[in-house]
Structure 1
Amino acid sequence: MKILLTTIFAYPHTGGLSTHMSTLKSGLEAEGHQVGILSFNDVPRLKGILRAQGPAFFLNKFKKGKGFVWSQLQRKQLIHNLLKGLDESYDIINAQDIFAALASVGLGLPTALTSHGYMAYEAISKGALASGSKEDQLIRNMERHAYQHADRVITVDQRIKGYILEASGVEATAIKNFINVDDFKPDKTKKVLYKKELGLPKQSKILFVPRRLTKKNGVVFPALALPRILKEEPHTLLLYAGTGEDLPDIKRIIKQKGIEKNVVLLGAVPHYDMKKYYAVTDVVLIPSIHSEGVEEATSIAALEAMGSGAPVVASFVGGLKEIIENGKDGIHVEEQNPEALSQAVLNLLNHPAYANNLAEKARGKIEENHSHIAAAKRYADIYRG
């Protein structure tokens, strides 16, 4: 088959959606399919600024959410125009967001829509929309329209499947998130080498937060937990890999707690470099929280950490409850609880054999349940249908 993956967002970018697309493409191509990608990056840059980004910035000055809606609608139209002008033919389009799906519905090609979350709720959570506003209602209506008019809907966990059924009456197919198990695998033999390459002290304990810096990801809580950890493990370094609107809050906490020497803000890290950070990490933190009705999906960062042989401490929310079995292949903690987070980290640092056992069990689970090849076969079956 010839498959086109589409999104109104930039590709590649830092975040789970972009990673999902790359990994799905890799799996489908390994199965012999041809895969193309069409994204906002394919729109001429000046046109994108003039049509979508520039007006959205000014409209948001007048009313919260107005620019957000404008941007999504303009991006949809720009992707629609690109689809109409494609030089090559495809058997199916797999849209990765609701507006990309709306851009392709009606063009004569079957459209599958993969839903990675709850668009309206997530926009409210990050402050782009006002809850209950006309703009909020418009986005919800367009979500419903996209689900009802796509030929197939796929979700990355069971909760999103339930949300779509309730919101639109559409029965979606849940395929849990997945990773490239050949790229993300245990590589602890190079720990010393990678520490030197990344400029990290040889004797330091490394805590890693591979998260977009947004509210629902709970990224402020590792910084709040760190002072307690430093009392017992003073050579601990906390690394953040990601960007987002919560960066100022993290910087404020770091300064307030006086932990500047023990926190490294890496910014956006290229995806191919992430495996080096997992290899040097002693504990990976996935501290997600409930935020404006939004819960973490089947976190790709958590899956990559588990596949890489790094023990994971994660909040007991959303899709994280589906992929981690507490005390067997990872640790669950109560959300928004720095004390619980610090205690779980210290337990793993103080008991390395236990931490290694969790990591080994997690790798086995990833190989069995979250392989990109197995997921690609399931996607291909849906495309054929």
Structure 2
Amino acid sequence: MIILMASADNPYINNIGGKHVHLLLLEKSLRKLGVNVETKYYQMSSLKRKLLMIFKSALAVYSKRERIISSIEIIRDFYKKQDYSNFDIVNPHDTLSASAINHRKIVLTIHGYFPRELLDYSNFSENTKEKIFNFAVKYEKIGVEKAKHIIAVDTRIKNYLVKELGVDKKKITVIYNAVDIDNFSPVNESEKKRLRRYLGLETDKYIVLIPRRFVPKNGVQYAAEAVKIINASLVGKQLFFIFSGRGLLENELRSRLSKFSNVIITRLSHNEIVKYYKASDIVLIPSITSNDVEEATSLSMLEGMSTGKIVICTNIGGMKEVIKDGINGFLIPQKSPEAIAEKIEYVINHYHELEEIRRNARGYVISHHSPEEHAEKFLEVYKKIFRI
């Protein structure tokens, strides 16, 4: 059996999001199981890149809507031109690439809500929003219709496919994300301090890591407000905050937090950030519902749990399916800086009493989200479709 994995973005170049990590882990784990895996990830050719540089000034006059539509059509054109005759199953990991692939056995993995996420990642006028949304929905529906079977990364995405796009629920399997449990592993206090010295971080404070792309759905603006609340209280002197990411809200975050000496905002690759997980005490995932988009099974949440940290998440999307409040982490209401501040203060005041929660978090990830178990579930779906 030869499997082709496809994606509208290339995880070897843009290794910053949960989907990218998922692709690389799945490739590696399937090959360990003896599966012949090949990939076709979209990558702009060097010629097109040069042309974009040459005509950069001309492109600047295009509207953002035109640029996005043009980018979508370029990606679809790339996949239309590929030869898929040598592959038994094609597994695209987004509806955009799936919409352009012609193969009779497509297993489509859906990590999110393509049309809605386009809106969440950019500022558009209301008129432009509608046009972009309708344009993206067209290809989302085509991709879903082409799939012989669909893998959703949480039950909310499954429900979205059934209710919004009319997909038969028998056609959908839910497989939660996996974590590199060997790399994202706990460290003792001595190693944690050594890592902090190596990274130039505070050794005598509690560190809160917020590993989030800076877009509305990830709720970083509420985390910033929580920092203000915390720093106005005595507990603020015990804390240091690390916002790691990039995106639409970065300048706003820097403006809001510039006056605080116990905050850094940084851009880290996935390979770099593992050290920061290990060096931290709390991992905060303050996601919200934005443009009808909710966080799926947050990889950042799972990586925090895997490193044995106290993970604080909002009670939405796939996160509330994983976190059992007070057992393997903590759940808080969304869009509430006060709830974030209150829970962080609680954790600091009871930190040494929460060892069982840290152990439970690590144990849960090992039991439910190991790469090997994850790949075996994908292989079961592939075998089922292969025999059809």
Normalised TM-score (structure 1): 0.90
Indicate the SS of the match to 1:27. Answer: helix
Instruction: Name the counterpart of 1:26.
Output: 28
- The AA in structure 1 aligned to 2:90 is I
Structure 1: tracts of 5 or more residues without a match:
none
Give yes or no for contact 2:104–2:148 (8 Å, CA) kept in 1. Answer: no
- 1:157–1:187 Cα change, 3 Å: same
| Equivalent AA in structure 1 for residue 222 of structure 2 | F
CA-CA distance at 1:330 after TM superposition: 0.7
Matched-pair contact (CA < 8 Å) for 2:158–2:174:
yes
1:122 has 2:124 as partner: no
Matched residue, 2:294:
295
Q: Deviations over 1:19-67 (max 9, x none)?
A: 11011112212212232332223x423325648x999997785555332
Q: 1:154 to 1:309 in 2, by over 3 A?
A: same
Query: Which letter maps to 1:38?
Result: K
Change (3 A) 1:54 1:118: farther
For residues 116 and 286 of structure 1, what CA distance do their matches in structure 2 show?
Answer: 17
Q: How far, CA to CA, are the matches of 1:211 and 1:275 in structure 2?
A: 14
Give the Cα–Cα distance (whole angstroms) in 2 for the partners of residues 130 and 207 of structure 1: 35
Amino acid at match of 1:93: V
What is the DSSP-based 3-state SS (H/G/I as helix, E as strand, rest coil) of the residue aligned with 1:141? helix
Of the three residues 122, 131, 134, the one matched with 1:134 is 131
AA paired with 1:2? I
Q: Equivalences for 1:277-356 in 2 at 5 Å?
A: 277-356=276-355
Q: Give the corresponding residue for 2:273.
A: 274
- Does 2:154 align with 1:157? yes
Q: Is the 8 A contact 1:23 1:180 kept in 2?
A: yes
Q: Is the 8 A contact 1:5 1:94 kept in 2?
A: yes
Moved more, 153-162 or 174-183: 174-183
Hey, what's the Cα distance between the residues in 2 that align with 1:94 and 1:50?
31
Secondary structure, counterpart of 1:234 in structure 2:
helix
CA separation of 1:54/1:373 partners in 2, compared to 1, >3 Å: closer, same or farther? farther
Report 1:121-270 matches (<5 A): 121-127=116-122, 133-170=130-167, 171=169, 172-188=172-188, 189-230=190-231, 231-255=234-258, 258-259=259-260, 261-267=261-267, 269-270=268-269
Deviations 1:264-292 (A, max 9, x none): 1121x232332211111111000001101
Partner of 2:95: 98
Distance 2:88 2:49 in 1: 27
Percentage identity across paired residues of the two chains: 29
Residue identity matched to 1:16? G
How far apart, CA to CA, are the structure 1 residues paired with 2:165 and 2:49? 31
Please state whether the residue corresponding to 2:283 is helix, strand or coil. Answer: strand
Amino acid at match of 1:120: P
Superposed CA deviations along residues 117-142 of structure 1, whole A, max 9, x for unmatched, are 11111112223666662332121121
Q: 1:206 and 1:57, CA in 2 relative to 1: closer, same or farther beyond 3 A?
A: farther
1:121 partner letter: R
Give the equivalent residue in structure 2 for 1:375: 374
Larger deviation, residues 65-74 vs 237-246: 65-74
